[in-house]
């Protein structure tokens, strides 16, 4: 597995990470615990050294799972987790929705360290920007945790360019995690140039469009009400039918390259910048191996131009989130 460094930091990780959310959150039915632990360990054996979790996934049980699964590999892997939601100790959500107060950040850090079973959190993201807490206070709180040795790197998720700049001035931001893929390219407008200028790495989540870019989801597929995709406008049957053109494009290239549509979608992301590290999530070993195979797929300048030209002709239909979730992004 190739390695990449996130921005100007010294955080070197595998070129592809593993998003662990789906093991306990958003995509029912969840696998048995022993299956997820086996998958985490299989990922390490195949060269993955970057794992993504969060307090809110569950809440709490995703961090516990990742901590247990990766326990044999302490010091060999980097685990990223997140703070920023108002969650009660019993796992219920508090009335505030978001809470990035310095006191809360400190509480989450201490609890996450215990659940993960580590001495320091490798990368600690603010999960969503809290409009009620100045970002300078958030960055300052993480800076203190870094000084104390509890956290190694500060990250942000789904933040706007101005907020990233303000935070970075207080405590250098190692990575931004936001959605980015061939079917969600808004970060190219303002976010990616900002990250490049400041020397911040980019960790795209949903790099396969929540599974759509794999080519395995057509207009006839149904989603259980417990599946997050059942509430996403981009996954209505009409939108899927309209967006199929993007999958067809990936399929054509995949045929030429003896690859899969998912591998082309990931290879495209890897080709955009050397400091981009996608974190596709999966609960299945064959998908993990397929995703890892994308690192070996070479896209030439001509290939990238072909994708660019064809993608420019396709207008993706449907919002990527329900309105309430969309309002939490880009602040």
Strand pairing report for 3-5 and 123-126: unpaired
pLDDT of residue 261: 97
Model pLDDT, residue 213? 96
Q: Is 145 exposed, middle or buried (0-12, 13-18, 19+ CB in 10 A)?
A: buried
Catalytic residue among 57, 125, 180, 184: 57
List of domains in the chain: 3-326 (3.20.20.100)
Given a contact cutoff of 8 angstroms between Cβ atoms, the answer to whether 232 and 30 are in contact is: no
Determine the pLDDT at residue 173: 98
pLDDT at 41: 98
Active site residue 57: yes
Structure tokens that stand for 79 in this block: 């685990």
Confidence (pLDDT) at 180: 98
Q: Is the pTM of this model over 0.75?
A: yes
pLDDT given for residue 276 in this prediction: 98
Q: Can you list the residues of the chain whose pLDDT is less than 50?
A: none
d(CA 84, CA 98): 6
Average pLDDT, the chain: 96
């Amino acid at each position: 597995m190739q390695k990449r460094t996130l921005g100007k930091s010294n955080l070197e990780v595998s070129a592809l990470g593993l998003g662990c959310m789906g093991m306990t959150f958003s995509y029912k039915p969840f696998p048995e615990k022993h299956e997820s632990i086996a998958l985490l360990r299989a990922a390490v054996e195949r060269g993955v050294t970057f794992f993504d979790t969060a307090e809110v996934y569950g809440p709490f049980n995703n961090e516990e799972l990742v901590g247990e699964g990766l326990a044999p590999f302490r010091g060999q892997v980097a685990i990223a987790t997140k703070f920023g939601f108002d969650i009660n100790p019993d796992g219920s959500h508090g009335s505030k929705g978001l809470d990035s107060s310095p006191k809360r950040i400190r509480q989450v850090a201490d609890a996450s360290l215990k659940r993960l079973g580590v001495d320091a959190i490798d990368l600690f993201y603010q999960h969503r920007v809290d409009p009620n807490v100045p970002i300078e206070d958030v960055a300052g709180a993480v800076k203190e945790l870094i000084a104390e040795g509890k956290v190694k790197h500060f990250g942000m998720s789904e933040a706007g360019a101005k907020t990233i700049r303000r935070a970075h001035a207080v405590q250098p931001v190692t990575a931004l995690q936001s959605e980015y893929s061939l079917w969600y390219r808004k970060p190219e407008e303002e976010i990616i140039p900002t990250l490049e200028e400041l020397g911040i790495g980019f960790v795209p989540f949903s790099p396969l469009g929540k599974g759509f870019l794999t080519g395995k989801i057509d207009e006839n597929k149904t989603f259980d009400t417990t599946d997050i995709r059942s509430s996403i406008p981009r996954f209505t049957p009409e939108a899927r039918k309209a967006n199929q053109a993007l999958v067809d494009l990936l399929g054509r290239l995949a045929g030429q390259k003896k690859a899969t549509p998912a591998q082309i979608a990931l290879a495209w992301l890897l080709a955009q910048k050397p400091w981009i590290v996608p974190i596709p999530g999966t609960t299945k070993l064959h998908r993990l191996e397929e995703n890892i195979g994308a690192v070996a797929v070479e896209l030439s300048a001509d290939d990238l131009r072909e994708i660019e030209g064809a993608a420019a002709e396709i207008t993706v239909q449907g919002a990527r989130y329900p309105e309430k979730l969309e309002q939490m992004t880009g602040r």
